[in-house]
Amino acid sequence: MRKIYLDNAATTPMDVEVIDVMQQSMVANFGNPSSTHQFGRTAKSSVETARKNIAQHFNVTASEIIFTAGGTEADNLILQNAVTNLGVQTIITSKVEHHAVLHTVEYLKETYQIEVVYVPVDEVGSVNLQELDALLSNTSTKTLVSLMYVNNEIGNLLSLDEVANICKKHDALFHSDTVQGIGHYPIDLQKTPIDFIAASAHKFHGPKGVGFAYFKKGFGIKPMLHGGDQEKGARSSTENVHSILGMEKALDIAVSTMDTDAKYLTELKLYFINELQACFPTVAFNGLSSNLEKSSYTILSTRFSVQNELLFFSLDLAGIAVSGGSACQSGSNGGSHVLNAFLSPEHAANTSVRFSFSKNTTKEEIALTIEKLQELLS
């Protein structure tokens, strides 16, 4: 049975070149970066070179990059640091954020009695930036805005420039979970003044369990983990050398092929949309998912006018991997918190499928998926 992987927003397969780099590091670069002998110094040098190279892709300095175990830890480190170290008393976010943000701000609210305000989203799940401006105009305490760049379920793109300008106007800090955008869209942090971003290597064909947080220069960092002085005191724990080098290589590849990949995947996504509309006249697309300019070319959130609880199971049996939303909440009986935030109860009850693509996805795979959907939904 042929296997078709259309869940790249959950994770991507590692590039062969990334695996090669990691394997070589495991064999020859096994020293502890905190050790002072030559093996440790070699490992430390490799980590710091990777930090410098990763920083250059975002036009920042190496000292502004803190390596983490992934995007969730990066979001937690940023948000908790904002409250416990930078004096933030109000966090403005939205109901369509990743749970790495939503659950963390709820924890901070309960633990530190900060104020959490949710900016409204419109009928297609996009953040209302006029309301954000109004909320910041009426906020007198030190405030951080936390809004994701690419929504991981519906693919809506946030205008980072516009939000950054709004935050600057009101002297608010700006954090963006950019996990779904890095490696797919260019981000120049000198041109777009974001204070904090989060990244995860496995979203751009790198290894799982490694990512980074960006802290704009000038912000001190209070660690969440204690017991060592790694990452310049920002994160105690021996650095995951092999994965850091794998992330460096994956990002290098992603940036070098970004324009080619974007063109290919945009055409592939358009083909899928046209085929779905031809075969399923009542099909709908959640959020801005079908808008090629306002949504990620890697994500298509599709809503069928039926309730088919076995669709995902049936597709899996046919060798086709898809998702109903975030992989982090698979099996949740409450449905997608993102879709529930802007769809009517009637539409939210219908079967929604998130198809997500990578440079490895082929047109033939899309055609075979359409055939199987016709068979299952006829």
Looking at 278, 310, 328, 349, which residue is catalytic?
A: 328
157 and 187 share one domain: yes
pLDDT at 333: 57
Which pLDDT value is given to residue 325? 60
Instruction: Note the pLDDT tens digit of each residue in 85-116.
Output: 999 999 999 999 999 999 999 999 999 999 99
Q: Are residues 184 and 61 in the same domain?
A: yes
CA distance 9 to 287: 16
Task: Out of 241, 256, 271, pick the residue that ends a domain.
Answer: 256
Q: pLDDT at position 378, please?
A: 81
Residues 107, 88, single domain; the answer is yes
Domain count, the chain: 2
Q: What is the CATH number of the domain that holds 194?
A: 3.40.640.10
78 in the same domain as 175: yes
User: CA-CA-CA-CA torsion for 337, 340, 343, 345, nearest 10 degrees?
Assistant: 160
Q: What's the start-to-end Cα distance of the chain, in Å?
A: 22
pLDDT, position 371:
97
pLDDT digits (tens, 9 = 90+) for 136-173: 999 999 999 999 999 999 999 999 999 999 999 999 99
- β 196-200/211-215 pair status: antiparallel
The answer on 284 and 242 residing in a single domain is: no
User: Is 279 a residue of the active site?
Assistant: no
Whether 83 and 277 have beta carbons less than 8 Å apart is answered as no
Nearest to 45 by CA among 58, 59, 30, 33: 33
- 275 shares a domain with 369: yes
Same domain flag for 251 and 265:
no
Q: Which two tokens stand for residue 33?
A: 């970066």
Q: How many CB atoms lie within 10 A of CB 227?
A: 8
- pTM value is 0.95
Based on the domain organization, do 299 and 317 belong to the same domain?
yes
Among 224, 256, 288, give the residue marking a domain's end: 256
Average confidence score pLDDT of the chain: 95
CATH number of the domain bearing residue 368:
3.90.1150.10
In angstroms, rounded to a whole number, what is the distance separating the alpha carbons of residues 326 and 101?
Answer: 13
What tokens were used for 333? 């009986």
Could you tell me which of 184, 200, 188, 202 has the C-alpha nearest to residue 160?
A: 188
Are residues 95 and 137 both part of a single domain? Answer: yes
Return the pLDDT at 329.
43
Domain extent, residue 363, equals: 4-12+258-377
Give the end of a domain, one of 209, 224, 256: 256
> For residue 1, what pLDDT is reported?
80
Residues of the chain below pLDDT 50:
326, 329-331
**Whether 186 and 321 share a structural domain:** no
242 in the same domain as 278:
no
Same domain, yes or no, for 366 and 356?
yes
Tell how many helices (H) and how many strands (E) occur in the chain.
12, 12
Q: What is the pLDDT of residue 296?
A: 98
